[in-house]
Each structure stands twice: as C-alpha cells, then as structure tokens.
C-alpha cells in the first residue's frame, strides 16, 4: 500500500514488527473504549487484530517523523453493502494518548481524504463518533465533515451505542480544497 506523508508524519503499511508498539497503546484502558473496542488483554490479541489490519490493506500505521515506530493507526473501511456499492468508505483512527491534543489526527485524516478523493476517487468518505467522544467530534469538525444522522452500533461491552455520523462528499472536499 502507498505511504502518505504529511508535514509531521508518515502514514505507512503495518507489519508484525509493529506488534509491541501497537500493544503498548491498545492495552490502555481509556483508548479502545472511545473507539468502541475493548482494551487488549494480551499480546496474542494484539497480534490477531494487527494481522487483520494488515490483511485489510487500507490501514496505515501512524509514525511521527523522524521516528519509525507507530503511535496509532488510521484506516479506510467498507462497513456495509451501501459503502461497497456506492464507492464510499468510512475513516477510523486512533492515536496513543501521549500524543493527544497536538493536531496529529486532523493532519492524518486530511492526508487520507486527499488519497481517498484524488487517488481512489471515492464518492464519499464517512466518519462517526460515539456521542460522548468529544475529542473525535472535534477532529471530524476541524476536517470539515458534515453531520448526517445517528447510527446505532454494538459496543464491546454488549450494549448498543449511538454514533453521530458525518460525511465528506467528493464535491464538498473539492470546495474546501480549491
Ligand atoms: C480522537 C483522537 C484521535 C483525537 O486525536 P488528536 O490528535 O488528539 O486530535 P486533536 O489534537 O485535534 O484534538 C482533538 C480534541 O481533543 C481534545 N483533547 C486534546 N488533548 C486532550 C486530552 N489530553 N484529554 C482530553 N481531551 C483532549 C481537545 O478538546 C481537542 O479539541 P480542540 O482542538 O478544539 O482543542 C484521540 O483522542 C484518540 O485516539 N482517542 C482514542 C480513540 C478514538 O476515540 N478514536 C476515534 C473513534 S471515533
């Protein structure tokens, strides 16, 4: 997969060499639950998820220059039949809490949007956050996504959770970036 470079970061393909770094933040109690997944309880669990992301082939490891180690991931996902039929994908992301609040994820999302519209030629990129995840809400707002409605999804603890959904259409992206 193609690496994407921003001012401060390189988004690159993941490999099993990233396992230790991935597990380091994936086991923290307050990171995964914000994105709907349970904190990892073993290195083997992290290995299985990392393998899945490698196979998906559209999940990048986030590195901060000049370091080579990953501090998070960002990916484009086909979540449902409509996504597949309408040439749309959903962006999802996570970054280790050590790096929160420095605008890294806005920079990463913008690089992925550029790739999604200019190289993949998607018609729309979707994004969503649990209604209490105000940090992700701010990332989505700062990137210029438009709110569309509420989706109800499964939370890792077996409950249902309300997700505020947003979209960025190809046309809106071009308007913001002309
Ligand atoms: C959501 C997330 C990706 C944001 O990444 P980031 O690089 O920190 O994003 P930003 O620097 O733009 O900060 C976003 C907002 O987080 C808030 N924030 C920053 N640092 C914070 C901290 N240490 N604690 C709480 N909130 C914080 C700020 O309000 C900021 O908004 P502002 O720019 O209006 O001040 C990151 O918090 C994360 O990985 N969270 C866990 C996984 C997750 O929620 N994924 C998204 C699922 S929808």
Average pLDDT of the chain to the nearest whole number: 96
Residues 6+ apart with CB under 8 A from 9: 62, 63, 64, 65, 104, 107, 108, 111
Our count of domains for the chain comes to 1
Ligand 1 — pocket residues by CB below 6 A?
31, 34-35, 93-95, 100-106, 129, 133, 135-136, 138-139
Residue-level pLDDT at 57? 86
The alpha carbon of 135 and the centre of ligand 1 are apart by a number of angstroms equal to 4
What is the 3-state composition of the chain as percent helix, strand, coil, each rounded to the nearest 5?
A: 40, 30, 30
What is the average pLDDT across 74-89?
A: 93
The alpha carbon of 134 and the centre of ligand 1 are apart by a number of angstroms equal to 8
The range of the structural domain enclosing residue 50 comes to 4-176
What is the average pLDDT across 38-62?
A: 97
Residue-level pLDDT at 178? 84
Residue 95 sits in a domain whose CATH number is: 3.40.630.30
CB 14 within 8 A of CB 54: yes
Residues 6+ apart with CB under 8 A from 147: 164, 165, 166
């Amino acid at each position: 997969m193609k690496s994407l470079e921003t001012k401060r970061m390189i988004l690159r393909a993941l490999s099993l060499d990233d396992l230790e770094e991935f597990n380091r933040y994936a086991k923290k109690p307050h990171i995964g639950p914000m994105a709907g997944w349970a904190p990892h309880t073993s290195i083997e669990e992290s290995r299985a998820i990392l393998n899945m992301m490698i196979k998906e082939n559209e999940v990048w490891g986030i590195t901060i220059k000049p370091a080579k180690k990953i501090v998070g991931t960002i990916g484009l996902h086909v979540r449902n039949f409509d996504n597949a039929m309408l040439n749309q994908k959903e962006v999802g992301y996570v970054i280790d809490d050590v790096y929160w609040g420095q605008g890294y994820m806005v920079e990463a999302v913008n690089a992925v949007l550029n790739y999604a519209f200019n190289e993949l030629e998607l018609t729309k990129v979707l994004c969503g956050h649990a209604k209490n995840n105000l940090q992700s809400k701010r990332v989505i707002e700062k990137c210029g996504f438009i709110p569309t409605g509420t989706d109800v999804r499964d939370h890792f603890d077996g409950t249902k959770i309300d997700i505020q959904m947003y979209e960025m259409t190809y046309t809106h992206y071009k308007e913001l970036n002309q």
